[in-house]
């Protein structure tokens, strides 16, 4: 690791001010990707501005038709929150399956979605549930927020402060992990909203990060069952390929995980 | 701990310090004025070094020196060598290219060191290493061993044309070809044995300390064999004569073979310590470990098995290409030859065998011994062929093996080895019973009802352990003798130190070896200390590898104990005025048989040292040494049975049951043996399902971190069922065979045989990743439908 200066922000405004002063700063929110990258000398920020101590960015609240989760909330807190387990069981089980216990106790919702690793789990939940991302500057939909691989709509000094997840009537997440890293090779979040709207979002497999599968959404809207998606496959041409799985294999996993997610959602 | 003799499940004495974080590893050594080394490594697989500019690095804070290969060669430091001479079938010696600890001219694999920075702190050294500017002219690279032999392939070393190190053979080619002329059936397969990265938990490290007043070096290092390290550093690398070099291998966190060898970094640390006049520490990071620890396996083979009309094997023919990487590591030449092809007879009575092995240079990390070293490659080949042949001729794999087992001993194979003892039916029977082989069809049907594919696979392995006798390995080209030595030092108050040339880096020697003394004298194991890993303390030793510490290392201790016991009895007889033959040792006391006369072991020890009343002419003291050179290799063998369930939707393999039935001969501590088998099986299953060192065409290691290199984790393996049978090894006083490598040797074919059985498709390479299994199972289903 190269030398860096660590700052602990007390408020969102404080964080923005610290970042403005930094020569080449990075926000730190759990650091489960950034710190290992720095240790490998692949990133060398001059300053780290830690967001985890900002009170206004933590906590989980039930807002009736939605659940609001502060961006600095850890995966463990989401996984074990009764509010989340009751309101959006698919989201709780997704958080419980991120990384390992050490990662879940340090990694945060805001950190994960701001990094937008194409194999991260959370983007699938945000897109499938039609979540709203609130930042230090604005609110935007999940569809607008995720732009591409490791790319979001965030500006340099913009901080995700919370995410609001509408409560679905049914939801579940199924992922097939990369054998080595245990990141998602294909993770599918299915959600049926109270109005009957169905959304299916896929992470881990797409070349541009999270994406929706319109054909599965249509099929599930008329028939909410695993069989409805069994015959739907995504175009392998748009999928990632690496030593762990070809695009063809990932396309198969998307269909299999979609079936399993629908079955788990009941 | 108590009096725990042979057969006791004594808890490990060493675990208290390991579990409480109080082990002392090389990286724990901190010496006054110590500096840190960081290496400047090639990012290219093959390139000319055209210039090194260290000026920016030298100007950085804390930097003491930047040293290069030119300086190293100028100071007379010798090239790294391979210590086992193998001759090609035309009689010519192997073609060994030059390997310098820091390369001044041409780098041949990614990660090869070209310079080293010495600085006050590790961070300063690493920062400065990044600032050393090296100019390279890239050369075309080759990573595949078969392609490396083709005309027009990039050439690595001028000494090895077509990158061929040797073209070696074993066995009777004419007789084997004749057998194939008579064959009723021939089974043919192409088999790849995947390349592995050893990944011990503790990465390699070295602390070198040069004392200019005495012109003496001390090296703390992560070694499985500190005396061999000293010998090689002295004899070949011109670092210092042996009496001016002390090598200490303190607690070492795993080796699996990778810490047998002498690497560039240790040599450079010693040399740099003298150059800068300070102790120098180097600790590998995990990336360096992936790029520079000697890799394992990487064979491509074609095998043919000839059967007669009665399905008896009449001939076995093998051609293997072994990828040795960019340089010949210390014992690399022996692994695909004498540690591999000599085991191609397996547990079977095969009248004619011929094997041809070509060893090849490529622009990859050097390959050398890794847990099993050659024997896993042989076992995978033999046991995949046995299972496949059985399927082809329509016999049950168990019955086909049984039909061909060796049953009379000693058994001379056509490939050097003479098996001394074994009972292969016993381990096969035990494994089949434990896995409920008869109930398998019902379980398969039940799994099918859940949409899952079940399969059963066997592996009847044999290995040659001990890696000795010295005269035998010498005749095969080894540059060293492979005996072991021990000293048993009884202190005046009756406690005992055992100095051994074996080295423990996870094996539990401090407990197992102490049990020998407990057994012999009835003393508490707490009164025994095992001393190892320091060339100034232990007289000499050949170290630990090849499952040799039991069969060879403990045999040396037994020889020394015999001498101690004889002298103690003489003293006791003298003191108690009895005949020497009437003295019996029991429960820590020396007794005169048939009387109530007795002396405690402590009293006898004290008498030996006070020397007030010893038999006429006896020297004082009670301390004896011994060297032990075995009469043969040992031959652990067994049957592994694996049952898998495949999810055809994803290709995910779950090992639902795994039985290991092993014959290790006499076992001293069953709990420690079980731990060894658990670890070995897990590494073997890792090879079968998960692990693969993959290079891209330009020679970059694609699986260079745990993000991509899949180590087995607890949820990848089942709860193992372990069984042992016992035939006593006639070749050593304890009847031991060795257990350290068996799991890694025997398990890969059992797993692959089980998967290929489940998916009805025999075309499956290691590692059997989910995608490979998914693709192969789809093809298998198609074949079944047609």
Residue B591 has pLDDT above 90, yes or no: yes
Cβ contacts of residue B125 below 8 Å, gap of 6+?
Answer: B35, B36, B37, B38, B62, B63, B117, B118, B119
Asked if A245's CB is within 8 angstroms of B771's CB, the reply is yes
Compute, in degrees rounded to 10, the torsion defined by CA atoms B112, B117, B118, B119.
Answer: -130
* Statement: residue B734 has pLDDT above 80: yes
Residue B709 to chain A, least CA–CA distance (Å): 6
- Go through B23-39 and write b for each residue having 16 or more CB atoms within 10 A of its CB, e for each that does not: beebbebebeebbbbbb
State how beta strands A160-166 and A66-70 pair: antiparallel
> Domain locations in chain B?
31-139+202-253+259-292, 140-193+295-394, 420-462+635-786, 483-628
Chain A residues whose CB is inside 8 A of the B694 CB are: 243
- The reply to whether residue B287 touches residue A176, judged by beta carbons under 8 angstroms, is no
Which tens digits make up the pLDDT trace of B537-554? 999 999 999 889 999 999
| Other C-beta atoms lying within 10 Å of the C-beta of residue B706 | 14
Q: Do A41 and B123 touch (CB under 8 A)?
A: no
3-class DSSP state of B532: coil
ipTM confidence score: 0.95
CB contact under 8 Å between A249 and B130, yes or no, is no
| Dist CA B521 CA B495 (whole Å) | 11
Pairwise CA distance, residues B391 & B396, whole Å: 7
Q: Which residues of B are less than 8 Å from A179 in CB distance?
A: 690, 710, 769-770
CA B247 – CA B251 distance, rounded (Å): 13
- What integer pLDDT is reported at residue B379 of this predicted model? 98
Tell me the mean pLDDT in the region B387-412.
Answer: 98
Among residues of chain B, what percentage have pLDDT more than 90?
A: 96
Q: Find where tokens 């408020």 sit.
A: A11
Helical residues (DSSP H) of B691-769, grouped into ranges? 742-759
CATH number of the domain at B483-628, out of 3.40.1280.10, 3.30.365.10, 3.40.50.1820, 3.30.450.90? 3.30.365.10
Mutate to test the interface with A, among B771, B772, B773, B778 (most CBs of A within 10 A): B771
* Cβ-defined contact of B707 to A181 (cutoff 8 Å): yes
Higher pLDDT, B1 or B5: B5
Q: Look at residue B785 in the predicted model and tell me its pLDDT.
A: 76
Q: If 0-12 CB within 10 Å is exposed, 13-18 middle and 19+ buried, where does residue B175 land? A: middle
**Both structure tokens of B618:** 């006896």
Average pLDDT value for residue range B603-615: 97
Q: What is the pLDDT of residue B481?
A: 87
**Model's pTM, two decimal places?**
0.97
- Which chain A residue's Cα is nearest to B715? A179
User: What is the dihedral sign for C-alpha B67, B71, B76, B81?
Assistant: positive
Q: What is the pLDDT of residue B3?
A: 85
Q: Angle B601-610/B555-576 helices, nearest 10 degrees?
A: 80
Strand pairing class (B313-325; B353-361):
parallel
Cα separation, B534 vs B226, whole angstroms: 7
Q: Is pLDDT at B644 greater than 80 in this prediction?
A: yes
CA torsion sign, B138 to B143 to B145 to B151? Answer: negative
Comparing CB atoms, the residue among B650, B708, B771 nearest residue A180 is B708
Q: What pLDDT score does B281 carry?
A: 98
Which of A99, A107, A97 lies closest to A74, judged by CA?
Answer: A107
The string of pLDDT tens digits covering residues B748-773 is 999 999 999 999 999 999 999 999 99
Cis peptide upstream of residue B469 (ω within 30 degrees of 0): yes
Q: To which residue do tokens 């692949």 refer? A: A42
Token pair of B107 as six digits: 């780098």
Query: How buried is B550 (Cβ within 10 angstroms: 0-12 exposed, 13-18 middle, 19+ buried)?
Result: buried
For residue B113, the cross-strand partners are: B41
Residue-averaged pLDDT of chain A:
96
Q: How much is the mean pLDDT over chain B?
A: 96
By Cβ distance, the residue of B649, B769, B774 closest to A244 is B769
Residues of chain A predicted below pLDDT 50: none
Chain B positions in Cβ-Cβ contact with residue A3 (cut-off 8 Å): 123
**Using CB atoms, which residue from B702, B709, B774 is nearest to A249?**
B774
Chain A positions contacting chain B at CB under 8 Å are 1-3, 40-41, 176, 179-181, 243-246, 249, 252-253, 256
For chain B, the residue count is 786
The token duo for B657 is 């049951």
Contacts of A261 in chain B (CB under 8 A): none
pLDDT of residue B578: 96
B46 backbone dihedrals φ, ψ, rounded to 5°: -160, 115
Instruction: Please state, in angstroms and rounded to a whole number, the distance separating the CA atoms of residues A67 and A171.
Output: 14
- Give me the helices (H) in A173-234, please: 214-222, 226-230
- On the question of a cis peptide bond just before residue B410, with omega within 30 degrees of 0, the verdict is yes
What is B31-139+202-253+259-292's CATH number? 3.90.1170.50
Nearest to B545 by CA among B507, B583, B512, B571: B507
What is the topology classification, in CATH, of domain B420-462+635-786?
A: Aldehyde Oxidoreductase; domain 4 (3.30.365)
The two tokens of residue B485 are 């030595």
Q: Do domains B31-139+202-253+259-292 and B420-462+635-786 have the same CATH topology?
A: no
pLDDT at residue B467, as a whole number: 82
Residues B423 and B737: their CA atoms lie apart, in Å, by: 13
Is B195:B296 a contact under the CB 8 Å cutoff? yes
CATH no. for B140-193+295-394: 3.30.365.10
Residue A197 distance to chain B (closest CA, Å)? 28
How high is the pLDDT of residue B784?
A: 76
DSSP B223-236: -S-HHHHHHHHHHT
- Interchain CB distance below 8 Å, A243 and B694: yes
CA–CA distances in Å: residue A92 to residues A67, A82, A134, A162, B358: 12, 9, 20, 16, 56
Whether B1 shows a pLDDT value over 80: the answer reads no
| Domains of chain A, CATH where assigned | 1-57 (3.30.43.10), 58-266 (3.30.465.10)
Least Cα distance to A221 among A205, A235, A200, A240 occurs for A200
- pLDDT at position B781: 81
- Chain B residues whose beta carbon lies within 8 Å of the beta carbon of residue A2: 127
Shortest distance, CA A243 to any CA of chain B (angstroms): 8
Confidence (pLDDT) at B361: 98
Per the CB < 8 A criterion, the answer to whether B35 and B268 are in contact is no
Conformational region of residue B277, where left means phi above 0, alpha means psi within -120 to 50, and beta covers everything else: left
What tens digit of pLDDT does each residue of B222-231 get? 999 999 999 9
The confidence score (pLDDT) of residue B519 equals 94
Coil, helix or strand at residue B492: coil
Give tens-digit pLDDT for B66-86. 999 999 999 999 999 999 999
Instruction: Note the pLDDT tens digit of each residue in B446-493.
Output: 999 999 999 999 999 999 998 878 998 898 998 888 999 999 999 999
What is the rounded distance in angstroms from the CA atom of residue B691 to the CA atom of residue B676? 20
């Amino acid at each position: 690791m190269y030398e860096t200066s660590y700052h602990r922000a007390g408020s969102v405004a404080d964080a923005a001010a610290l970042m403005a002063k930094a020569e080449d700063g990075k926000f730190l929110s759990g650091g489960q990707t950034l710190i290992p990258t720095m240790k490998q000398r692949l990133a060398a920020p001059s300053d780290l501005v830690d967001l985890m101590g900002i009170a206004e960015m933590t906590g989980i609240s039930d807002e009736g038709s939605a659940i609001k989760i502060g961006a600095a909330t850890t995966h463990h807190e989401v996984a074990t929150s009764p509010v989340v387990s009751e309101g959006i069981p698919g989201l709780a089980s997704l958080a419980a399956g991120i990384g390992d216990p050490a990662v879940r106790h340090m990694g945060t919702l805001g950190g994960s979605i701001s990094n937008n690793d194409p194999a991260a789990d959370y983007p699938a939940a945000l897109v499938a549930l039609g979540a709203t991302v609130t930042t230090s500057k604005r609110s935007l939909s999940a569809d607008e927020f995720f732009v591409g691989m490791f790319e979001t709509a965030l500006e340099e000094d913009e901080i995700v402060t919370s995410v609001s997840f509408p409560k679905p009537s049914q939801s579940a997440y199924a992922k097939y992990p990369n054998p080595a890293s245990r990141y998602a090779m294909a993770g599918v979040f299915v959600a049926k909203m109270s109005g009957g709207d169905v959304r299916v979002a896929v992470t881990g497999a797409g070349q541009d990060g999270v994406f929706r599968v319109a054909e599965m959404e249509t099929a599930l809207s008329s028939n909410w069952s695993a069989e409805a998606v069994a015959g739907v496959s995504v175009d392998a041409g748009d999928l990632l390929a690496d030593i762990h799985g070809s695009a063809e294999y990932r396309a198969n996993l998307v269909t299999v995980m979609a079936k399993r997610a629908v079955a788990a959602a009941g | 701990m108590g009096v725990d003799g042979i057969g006791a499940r004594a808890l490990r004495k060493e675990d208290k310090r390991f579990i409480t974080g109080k082990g002392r590893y090389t990286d724990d050594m901190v010496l006054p004025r110590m500096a840190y080394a960081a290496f400047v490594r090639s990012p290219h697989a093959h390139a000319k070094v055209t210039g090194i500019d260290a000026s920016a690095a030298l100007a950085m804070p804390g930097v003491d020196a930047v040293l290069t290969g030119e300086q190293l060669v100028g100071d007379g430091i010798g090239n790294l060598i391979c210590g086992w001479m193998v001759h090609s079938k035309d009689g010519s010696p192997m073609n060994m290219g030059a390997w310098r600890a820091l390369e001044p001219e041409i780098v041949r694999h990614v990660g090869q060191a070209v310079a080293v920075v010495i600085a006050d702190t590790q961070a300063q050294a690493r920062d400065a290493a990044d600032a050393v500017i090296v100019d390279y002219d890239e050369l075309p690279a080759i990573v595949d061993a078969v392609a490396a032999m083709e005309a027009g392939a990039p050439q690595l070393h001028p000494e090895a044309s077509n990158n061929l190190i040797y073209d070696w053979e074993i066995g009777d080619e004419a007789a084997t070809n004749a057998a194939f002329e008579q064959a009723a059936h021939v089974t043919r397969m192409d088999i790849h044995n995947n390349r592995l990265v050893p990944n011990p938990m503790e990465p390699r490290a070295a602390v070198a300390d040069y004392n200019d007043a005495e012109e003496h070096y001390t090296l703390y290092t992560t070694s499985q064999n500190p005396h061999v390290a000293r010998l090689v550093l002295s004899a070949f690398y011109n670092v210092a004569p042996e009496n001016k070099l002390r090598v200490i291998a303190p607690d070492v966190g795993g080796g699996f073979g990778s810490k047998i060898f002498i690497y560039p970094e240790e040599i450079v640390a010693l040399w740099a310590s003298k150059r800068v006049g300070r102790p120098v520490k180097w600790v590998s990071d995990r990336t360096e470990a992936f790029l520079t620890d000697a890799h394992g396996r990487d064979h491509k083979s074609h095998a043919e098995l000839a059967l007669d009309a009665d399905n008896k094997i009449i001939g076995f023919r093998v051609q293997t290409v072994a990828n040795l990487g960019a340089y010949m590591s210390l014992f690399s030449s022996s692994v695909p030859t004498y540690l591999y092809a000599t085991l191609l007879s397996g547990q079977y009575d095969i009248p004619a065998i011929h094997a041809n092995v070509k060893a090849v240079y490529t622009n990859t990390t050097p390959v050398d011994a890794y847990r099993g070293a050659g024997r896993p490659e042989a076992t995978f080949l033999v046991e995949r062929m046995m299972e496949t042949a059985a399927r082809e001729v329509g016999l049950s794999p168990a019955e086909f093996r049984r039909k061909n087992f060796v049953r009379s001993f000693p058994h001379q194979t056509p490939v050097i080895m003479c098996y001394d003892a074994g009972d292969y039916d016993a381990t096969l029977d035990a494994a089949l019973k434990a896995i409920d082989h008869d109930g398998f069809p019902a379980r398969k049907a039940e799994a099918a009802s859940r949409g899952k594919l079940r399969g059963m696979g066997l592996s009847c392995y044999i290995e040659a352990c001990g890696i000795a006798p010295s005269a035998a390995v010498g005749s095969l080209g080894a540059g060293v003798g492979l005996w072991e030595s021990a000293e048993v030092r009884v202190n005046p108050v009756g406690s005992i130190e055992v100095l051994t040339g074996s080295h423990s880096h996870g094996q539990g020697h401090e407990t197992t070896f102490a049990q020998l003394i407990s057994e012999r004298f009835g003393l508490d194991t707490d009164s025994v200390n095992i001393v190892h890993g320091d060339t100034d303390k232990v007289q000499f030793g050949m170290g630990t590898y090849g499952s040799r510490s039991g069969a060879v290392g403990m045999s040396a201790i037994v020889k020394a104990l015999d001498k101690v016991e004889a002298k103690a009895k003489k003293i006791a007889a003298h003191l108690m005025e009895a005949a020497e033959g009437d003295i019996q040792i029991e429960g820590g006391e020396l007794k005169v048989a048939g009387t109530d006369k007795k002396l405690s072991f402590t009293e006898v020890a004290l008498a030996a040292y006070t020397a007030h009343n010893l038999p006429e002419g006896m020297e004082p003291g009670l301390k004896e040494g011994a060297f032990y050179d075995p009469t043969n290799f040992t031959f652990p063998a067994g049957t592994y049975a694996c049952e898998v369930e495949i999810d055809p939707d994803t290709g995910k393999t779950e090992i639902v049951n795994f039985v290991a039935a092993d014959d290790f001969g006499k076992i001293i501590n069953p709990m420690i043996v079980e731990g060894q088998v658990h670890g070995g099986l897990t590494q073997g299953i890792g090879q079968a399902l998960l692990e693969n060192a993959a290079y891209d065409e330009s020679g970059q290691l694609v699986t260079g971190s745990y993000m991509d290199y899949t180590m087995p984790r607890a949820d990848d393996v089942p709860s193992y069922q372990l069984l042992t049978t016992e035939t006593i090894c006639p070749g050593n006083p304890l009847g031991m065979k060795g257990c350290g490598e068996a799991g890694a040797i025997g398990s890969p074919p059992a797993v692959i045989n089980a998967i290929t059985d489940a998916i009805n498709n025999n075309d499956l390479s290691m590692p059997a990743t989910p995608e490979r299994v998914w693709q192969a199972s789809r093809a298998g289903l198609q074949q079944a439908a047609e």
